[in-house]
Amino acid sequence: MCLSIPSKVVKIDLERNVATVDTMGVQREAGLELMEEGDVKIGDYVLLHIGFIMNKIDEEDAMESLKVYNEILQKLDEEERKQMVIDDDNCENRKA
C-alpha cells in the first residue's frame, strides 16, 4: 500500500499530463496531477506512488546522506583498525 519508489523521468507528455518514468529498465506512465506545472523535468528523480508522481527527490540531500554514510563507515573502519592494533599489542601470547 505504502509502496512508493524512486524512479527517473524519461519522457513528458504535457497534453495528457503524464510522465514516463523508468525504474531499473521498467517503464511506466505516471500522472502529473500532484505536481506544479513545469516542476518536473526529464532526468529528474521522482517518487512514484499508485500511478502518480508524488514529489521530486532532492538529489543534493540524497548525495549528502550517502556522503555521511561513507564517512561513518570510514570512521568505524579506522576505529576498528586502531582497536585491532591495541588488541594485538595486548596479546597474551606476545608477553615476554
Chain contacts with other proteins (rule: CB under 8 A): 1-8, 10, 20, 22-29, 31, 33-36, 45, 47-52, 54-55, 57-59, 61-66, 69, 72-73, 76
Closer Cβ to other proteins, 12 or 49, answer by number:
49
CB-wise, 60 or 92, nearer to other proteins? 60
Least distance in angstroms from the C-beta of 91 to other proteins: 23
For residue 18, what is its C-alpha cell?
503524464
The per-residue b/e assignment along 55-75, b for 16 or more CB within 10 angstroms, e otherwise, is: eeeeeeeeeeeeeeeeeeeee
Q: How far is the CB of 85 from other proteins (least distance, A)?
A: 18
Local structure of 27: helix, strand or coil: strand
CB 48 within 8 A of CB 28: yes
Q: Kindly tell me which of 1 and 91 has the beta carbon lying closer to other proteins.
A: 1
| H or E segment to which residue 10 belongs | strand 4-13
* Shortest separation between residue 45's beta carbon and other proteins, angstroms: 7
